[in-house]
Amino acid sequence: DLSHNRFSGEIPVGITAIRSLQGLFLADNQLSGEIPTGIGNLTYLQSLDLSRNRLSGVVPAGLAGCFQLLYLRLGGNHLSGALRPELDALDSLKVLDLSNNRISGEIPLPLAGCRSLEEVDL
């Protein structure tokens, strides 16, 4: 858990090569830039917490590759654009937090395909 530090800069792209990673906790830092598109390579990832940073760009479609993801916390950043219909592939997802961002558009109907959702914070 690397949360609650003062890490700055972008999330290293090399982190997407750690295929066995099950949890990535980088909340409450000063990370900026975009979420690496290769994040979907982390097929064993169950928990991703990048909340309360300075991340920008869109929620990457590659997240759909993290099909074991249970907890996705991206709140408190500067993410923008519409929610990706690809998120429907995350049928094990229990918690989705995208609050306090600049997400726009409609909530995609495919999000209803995330049958395990227990908590949604937009």
Q: 82 lies in a domain? A: yes
Is residue 97 a part of any domain in this protein? yes
Residue-wise pLDDT tens digits, 46-87: 999 999 999 999 999 889 899 899 999 999 999 999 887 778
In a domain, 41, yes or no: yes
Return the CATH number at 32: 3.80.10.10
The pLDDT tens digits for 83-92 are 877 788 888 9
* Residue 110, pLDDT above cutoff 70: no
The C-alpha atoms of residue 34 and residue 55 are separated, in whole angstroms, by 6
Contacts of 14 (CB under 8 A, 6+ apart): none
Distances in whole angstroms, Cα of residue 30 to Cα of each of 3, 44, 75:
10, 26, 14
- Report how many domains make up the chain: 1
Rounded to two decimals, what is the model's pTM? 0.91
Give the domain extent around 15: 8-121
Per-residue pLDDT, averaged over 102-115, amounts to 73
Q: Is 20 left (phi over 0), alpha (psi -120 to 50) or beta?
A: alpha
Structure-token pair, residue 45:
């990832």
